[in-house]
Structure 1
Amino acid sequence: MTRPVVAFTSRYGSTRRYATALGSRLGTPAVELADLATASDADPLIVLAPVYATRILGRRRIIRAIRSAPGRAALVVVALSPADDPGRGNLAARLINASGRAVTTFHLRGDFDPARLTRLDRTLMAALRRQLRRTPDTPAARMLLPGEPLHFVDETSLDPVVAWAHRDTMVEE
């Protein structure tokens, strides 16, 4: 018997919040991708992952999970940048190509709280801010230079993911 599986990897919590909300809406617990042994009974499989330092976090595990799922699979990419940022699509496309499967993608915005950064991430952020000061009128500079928390998590943005997950079950009923 197949069932929806919601798996995620998260660095600072935005992706976990989305995964927990999505699991609740689909009637299944959200599970850490590292704890997912196999997705062999998943239909659909929905993997949520953040963009971290210009990469999608958990790439190898995501590919393994997608390859092991027998049914439909979706990748939900969470990042601070706007959902229509072309860089996100390129990252997702490369990951999906590596999986060798057809995968539906969704893009959501995450939160950013400078106070929660690790020491290494604070160092990287300081370097990024130095670069952004050269172009203070760019959207990234206006967003990150003030150093304030940014709140973009919006659980209603999961509606298309929920609709996609229910697509086949609604046809059968």
Structure 2
Amino acid sequence: MNRPVVAFTSRYGSTRRYATALASRFGTPATKLADLATASEADPLIVLSPLYATRIRGRRRIIRAIRSAPGRAALVVVGMSPTDDPGRATLADALVAASGRAVATFQLRGDFDPTRLGPLDRALMAVLRSRLRKTPDEPAARLILAREPIRFIDESTLDPVVAWANGLTGRET
């Protein structure tokens, strides 16, 4: 491993928390993706980004960073949905395909705190809640209708990312 770079974009803090924990394992600082001019010295490059409103946040910057990295690259997607949600994988695969490179992908679960939402997000959540009231037994309804903070961050789920970065697993897609 040459010089690992951990870059992230975050909206409400879960992705930042994972990025900081991951970077500390490598003894390097986590860098905001917006502040990363180039990843030309990164080996490996690990980009963490939240899944937000059916999009991976920072798509253009992620693609640019991945393309500029000379070594291996990984994309870590953080979202509230279960890590085996096929929609997450589809979004990650589309972003990886747009980069034109082999990129390892990882899925992590983040937190959700309704008290931290901005006005637009509160409005979107109100619409979502009205729809979820029709199916109160669905897992998403049980989580979101409660209006309580949801805690899914588990730093031990970073272990496969660290193993990949250390060359112990080959997960490129």
- Give the alignment's TM-score, normalised by structure 1: 0.95
1: CA distance, partners of 2:136 / 2:57: 28
- Kindly report which structure 2 residues correspond to 1:12-23, keeping only aligned pairs within 5 A, or say none: 12-23=12-23
- Aligned letter for 1:153? I
Question: 1:99 matched to which residue of 2?
Answer: 99
Give how far 1:159 is off.
0.4
Give how far 1:135 is off.
1.2
Give how far 1:74 is off.
0.3
The count of aligned residue pairs is: 168
Residues 34-43 or 133-142, more deviating:
133-142
Structure 2 unmatched ranges of 5 or more: 169-173
1:32 aligns with 2:32: yes
- Kindly report which structure 2 residues correspond to 1:83-122, keeping only aligned pairs within 5 A, or say none: 83-122=83-122
Q: Give a deviation string over 1:117-160, Cα, whole Å, max 9, x none.
A: 00110000000001111111111111111111000001111000
Give how far 1:93 is off.
0.4
2: CA distance, partners of 1:104 / 1:167: 12
Question: 2:54 matched to which residue of 1?
Answer: 54
2: CA distance, partners of 1:157 / 1:96: 21
SS in 2 for 1:148: coil
- Aligned letter for 1:60? R
Over the matched positions of the two proteins, sequence identity in percent amounts to 76
Question: 2:63 matched to which residue of 1?
Answer: 63
2: CA distance, partners of 1:131 / 1:91: 23
- Aligned letter for 2:44? P
- Aligned letter for 1:159? D
Structure 1 unmatched ranges of 5 or more: 169-173
Which one has the bigger helix percentage? 1
- Aligned letter for 2:145? L
1:138 aligns with 2:138: yes
Question: 1:171 matched to which residue of 2?
Answer: none
- Aligned letter for 1:69? A
1: CA distance, partners of 2:67 / 2:9: 17
- Aligned letter for 1:12? Y
1: CA distance, partners of 2:26 / 2:86: 29
2: CA distance, partners of 1:66 / 1:41: 12
Question: 1:157 matched to which residue of 2?
Answer: 157
2: CA distance, partners of 1:95 / 1:167: 23
Give how far 1:35 is off.
0.1
SS in 2 for 1:51: strand
Question: Alignment RMSD, CA only?
Answer: 1.1
1: CA distance, partners of 2:21 / 2:28: 10
Give how far 1:2 is off.
4.0
